[in-house]
Amino acid sequence: MATYVILSKLSPDAFRDPGEFRQIAEKVSQRIKADCPNVRWNASYALMGRFDVMDIVEANSPAEVEKAAMIIRAHGHATTETMLATPWKEFLASL
């Protein structure tokens, strides 16, 4: 399985109260679990900077991760940027 990083930037109109974000996050999580069973979530982080959320996932194909990112965009009211992440030791070994 390859590792991917999904960076998300929430829309300013996504919610009015920060407490509403929990509902959005739960809806997105349930939808991804149902529609993307081959995407394994490793970690999620709240960020301070250009992006609001970073998810680290594993999948066998980019198409599976693309589908998860589209769900985040549609149901999470966010824009996303997805990157393939190569473990450092594997990267060094390939040089």
Question: 56 pLDDT exceeds 90?
Answer: yes
d(CA 20, CA 25): 9
CB 67 within 8 A of CB 61: no
What does the chain come to in residues? 95
Residue ranges of domains in the chain: 2-94
Question: 21 pLDDT exceeds 90?
Answer: no
Question: 83 pLDDT exceeds 90?
Answer: yes
**pLDDT-wise least confident of 10-19, 42-51, 59-68, 69-78:** 10-19
What mean pLDDT comes out for the span 41-69? 96
Q: Which homologous superfamily does the CATH classification assign to the domain defined by 2-94?
A: Dimeric alpha+beta barrel (3.30.70.1060)
Residue 46: other Cβ atoms inside 10 A: 9
The residue type found at 38 is N
CB 24 within 8 A of CB 76: yes
